[in-house]
Amino acid sequence: MVVRPFKALRPTKEMISKIAAKPYDVVTEEQAREVAKNNPYTFYKVSRPEINFDHPVDTHDPKVLEAGRKHLEWLIENGYMFVEDKPCIYIYQQHWRDHIQTGFFATFSVDEYIDNKIKKHELTRKDKEDERALHVRVVKAHTGPVFLMYKSKPEIDNLIFRHATGTPEYDFTDETGVRHIVWVLKDEEEIKKIVDAFKSVDAFYIADGHHRAAAAVRAAIDFRNENPNYTGEEEFNFFLAALFPHNQLRILDYNRVVKDLNGMSEDEFLKKVSEKFEVTPVEGVYKPEKKHTIGMYLSGKWYRLEPKIGTYDENDVIASLDVSILQNNLLAPILGIENPRTDKRIDFVGGILGIEELIRLVDSGAFKVAFAMYPTSIDDLLRVSDEGKIMPPKSTWFEPKLKSGIVVHLI
């Protein structure tokens, strides 16, 4: 697999905490605007360029995207960001609560994505691809890193980990309590060891950022069509990502809340559920403690749901996922939610918000019932990707998220 060092556009040490921002797709326009009110340097002005306007705009409008490019130019012209003097790899470590994960920023091959050597597990939406591909083309940069992983090998991992020592280039804690540490690896011999080591790796896997990856590839194809004599070494043939060993990463639960019981009384609903699940009332708050246990919160009470024998095929990697078991045995047949991607009666709550958010949503009356899920495992995700299958919607919530604006890949 190809790992390619690059000359990053990056903030000065003094500006890193002001510029770095969450990925564009995990904040709303309103949230990004609120940050920008007190922080004119925020990278949201690049990644969410609509906030540069004080009126509603079309995010596909090149004039809007041009505002993002101009803000990036402003950051450079005023010395808040600069371009590295030589190709580097950027060792990236995140500390969140009791968890530490160490990987690195580099650029990765568009062709390996096209050839499915960079494996996916999610469907992407054309409209979101269109918007981000146009963003790449107008801003002439990959502004948000894709989140990649590889199957851990100690001999490769150690080539990375040994550089996560000494005085870092950046060390800051963001508004969510995540500490971000970056070391700049400039030594050509050490970079070559890492690059050469990954040549023996068979595949990379997208953990998060499927639309960013797809958009980078779409933009690259456009650039190739405009430059038929391209050599393959141009910057547009590579996209920005952070790569981690799979055993460093953490997936949180991705929970469900539903607005009604599909016309049933609570007794009727519980009776239906008990046909497919062992339903056990639980004292206090219940958070699933293992695979194939689901928490259900209804009218102030918690229940543990365990699927009965015959409700799923353990040999089918998709059907045996807890999110599939819930969908196929309860959400669709009992609550009538056939397509969770589009049904307005269901919503999804990332585990970062905690079980308390499920209780709040149901107790508020906005939703009738909540389902607390046990997190999908990294091993299940890898198996799905290796089999060329697609995860059900809202199956994984990776935390901590990568920051945008720490390094930018110019095209």
- Whether 36 and 72 map to the same domain: the answer is yes
Q: Identity (one letter) of the amino acid at 118?
A: I
- Whether 126 and 266 map to the same domain: the answer is no
- Whether 343 and 208 map to the same domain: the answer is no
CA pair distance 15, 12, nearest whole angstrom = 5
- Is residue 403 a part of any domain in this protein? yes
- Whether 224 and 82 map to the same domain: the answer is yes
- Is residue 82 a part of any domain in this protein? yes
Name the residue range of residue 321's domain. 254-374
CA pair distance 22, 59, nearest whole angstrom = 18
Tens digits of per-residue pLDDT, 163-206?
999 999 999 999 999 999 999 999 999 999 999 999 999 999 99
- Whether 160 and 68 map to the same domain: the answer is yes
- Is residue 391 a part of any domain in this protein? no
Give me the pLDDT at residue 91, please: 98
- Whether 266 and 219 map to the same domain: the answer is no
Give the three-state DSSP class for 388: coil
- Is residue 385 a part of any domain in this protein? no
Q: Where are the beta strands (DSSP E) in 187-330?
A: 204-208, 238-245, 251-252, 254-258, 277-282, 294-298, 301-307
- Whether 167 and 234 map to the same domain: the answer is yes
- Is residue 70 a part of any domain in this protein? yes
Give me the pLDDT at residue 389, please: 95
CATH number, domain of 364, equals 3.30.1760
Is residue 50 within 8 A of residue 143, CB to CB? The reply is no
- Rg value, the chain, Cα: 23
Global pTM value: 0.92
- Whether 92 and 191 map to the same domain: the answer is yes
C-alpha to C-alpha distances, 46 to 19, 34, 304, 334, nearest whole angstrom:
10, 15, 45, 45
Tens digits of per-residue pLDDT, 201-247?
999 999 999 999 999 999 999 999 999 999 999 999 999 999 999 99
Q: Identity (one letter) of the amino acid at 405?
A: G
Tens digits of pLDDT across the chain (411 residues): 999 999 999 999 999 999 999 999 889 999 999 999 999 999 999 999 999 999 889 888 889 999 999 999 999 999 999 999 999 999 999 999 999 999 999 999 999 999 999 999 998 988 889 999 999 999 999 999 999 999 999 999 999 999 999 999 999 999 999 999 999 999 999 999 999 999 999 999 999 999 999 999 999 999 999 999 999 999 999 999 999 999 999 999 999 999 999 999 999 999 999 999 999 999 999 999 999 999 999 999 999 999 999 999 999 999 999 999 999 999 999 999 999 988 999 999 988 888 999 999 999 999 999 999 999 999 999 999 999 999 998 899 999 999 999 999 999
- Whether 145 and 32 map to the same domain: the answer is yes
CA pair distance 340, 68, nearest whole angstrom = 33
- Is residue 24 a part of any domain in this protein? yes
- Is residue 67 a part of any domain in this protein? yes
- Whether 187 and 303 map to the same domain: the answer is no
Report how many domains make up the chain: 2
Here the tokens at position 75 are 């950051």
- Whether 95 and 49 map to the same domain: the answer is yes
- Whether 232 and 258 map to the same domain: the answer is no
- Compute the CA torsion angle 147, 151, 157, 163 (nearest 10 deg): -10
